[in-house]
Amino acid sequence: MTDQAPSNNPEKQFSIQKLFIKDVSFESPNTPLVFTEKWQPQVDINLVNNARKAPQDLYEASVTVTVTVKNNDKTAYLIEVTQVGVFGVKGFAEEEMGPLLGSFCPSVLFPYLREAISELVTKGGFPPLLLNPVNFEALYAQHAQQNDASKAN
């Protein structure tokens, strides 16, 4: 599977080489009792994305989401999924790599991760959990701004 990102420079190349789940965990420690209680979930979501250089012109980008759902102060379920993509990247300037790996690649990965989490939740016997879209561009800009501020201090 190969997708080309739009580019005004024919020397720039971007392709999706591989998409896969690297790590997945689903725990439901209080079943079946949790199914007998009124469902009033408290949802906590944590998201982390990373990128690293791989051999040749390849980069590995990953997004990990951890979801903890409690019902009446008891853990109903805990899910952690790491969705990974291997991307072919060639001809981009160094200053373009941060936004590409920190914003664009996670945006490609997130829909696959969201689907995996939703499927795990329903297979675990719980009502569907639909994660809202994430603005990775804004998250990247915020992270870059925090890094610039910490370098200035």
Between strands 13-27 and 74-90, the pairing is antiparallel
| Region 13-152: CATH code | 3.10.420.10
What is the residue whose two structure tokens read 């998201």? 47
Percent share of the chain, pLDDT over 90: 84
Spatial neighbors of 44 by CB under 8 A, at least 6 apart, are 67, 68, 69, 70
- Please determine, for residue 82, whether its predicted confidence score (pLDDT) is greater than 60: yes
pLDDT of residue 4: 54
Rounded to whole angstroms, how far apart are CA atoms 20 and 79? Answer: 17
33-48 pLDDT tens trace: 999 999 999 999 999 9
Cα dihedral value 91, 47, 137, 94, nearest 10:
-30
Query: Could you tell me the pTM of the whole model?
Result: 0.86
User: CB count, 10 Å around CB of 138?
Assistant: 10
- Please determine, for residue 5, whether its predicted confidence score (pLDDT) is greater than 80: no
